Amino acid sequence: MTDQPNSPQLYLITPVGATASTLGPMLAEVMERFPIACLRIPGAGTEDELGRIADLAREIAHAHDVAVVIEDHVQLAQRHGLDGVHLTNGSRGIRHARKELGQDAIVGAFCGTSRHDGINAAEAGADYVSFGPCGATALGQGEIVPLDLFEWWSEMIEIPVVAEGALTPALIGQLAPLTDFIALGAEIWAEPGPVEALGTLWR
C-alpha cells in the first residue's frame, strides 16, 4: 500500500498511560523501522509525566525529522518545544491554539464522525482534520465514520484528512486512496510485539 502513488502517510499515536521509561525503547525501534510522518502524544496523565514523555518523544522524533503534537495541551507544547497540538473537541480552540503557538505550528482537530465539525475546523484554520473511529469499537458513542465521508472530503476539501480508530488491514486498504494520513496507536501497542503488529498493518 505505502509504495503506491498518493498513498497516505503513517501517523503514530503513543500508548495512553505509558511512562517515559517504557516508551523510549519501543518508540525508538518503531521510528527506526517505519517512515512516520507525525507523532501524537495523548493528553492523559499528570503534567509532570506528560512533560517527561514530551521531552523523550521530541528527542527521538526530531532525530528522525518527525513532527510531534500533543493532545489539547497548548502550554505543554510551548514549554517542551513540540511542533503543535491535536485538539480533541473539533473546531473549538483552533484559533486560540494558533494565536498561542504561531502560524508555523501544527494545529490538528479531531471531529469524530461529523462532516459539519470537520468543515468548521477547516474554516477555522486547522492544518488537518481527523475522523474516527473507522472500525467497530466500544469507545466513544458507538458511531463509525462512513467511508463516503472520506470519499467526499478527498474530492471537495484541500485540508489533509486523517483516519483513525479501530483500523484493520482491510479498512486501511479501503481508506488508503481517500486519506492523507492513517493514524495507528492502540492497534499496535495492545499487541505483544508492537513493531511486528505495525508491520502487519502497514505494508
Task: pLDDT band for 5, please (50, 70, 90 cuts).
Answer: very low
CB atoms near residue 115 (< 10 Å):
18
| Residue 84 backbone class (left: φ over 0; alpha: ψ -120 to 50; beta: rest) | left
Q: Please report the domains of the chain, with CATH numbers, ordered by start residue.
A: 9-201 (3.20.20.70)
H or E segment at 25?
helix 20-33
With contact defined as beta carbons under 8 Å apart, do 109 and 87 qualify?
yes
Please state the pTM of the whole predicted model. Answer: 0.95
CB half-sphere exposure, 149, CA atoms < 13 A: 21
In this predicted model, what pLDDT tens digit does every residue of 78-89 receive, in sequence order? 999 999 999 999
In this predicted model, what pLDDT tens digit does every residue of 63-113 receive, in sequence order? 999 999 999 999 999 999 999 999 999 999 999 999 999 999 999 999 999
- Report the relative pairing of strands 128-131 and 106-110 from DSSP bridges: parallel
CA dihedral sign, ordered 52, 58, 64, 69: positive
Task: pLDDT band for 139, please (50, 70, 90 cuts).
Answer: low
For 78, residues 6+ apart whose C-beta sits below 8 A from its C-beta are 100, 101
| Residue 154 backbone class (left: φ over 0; alpha: ψ -120 to 50; beta: rest) | alpha
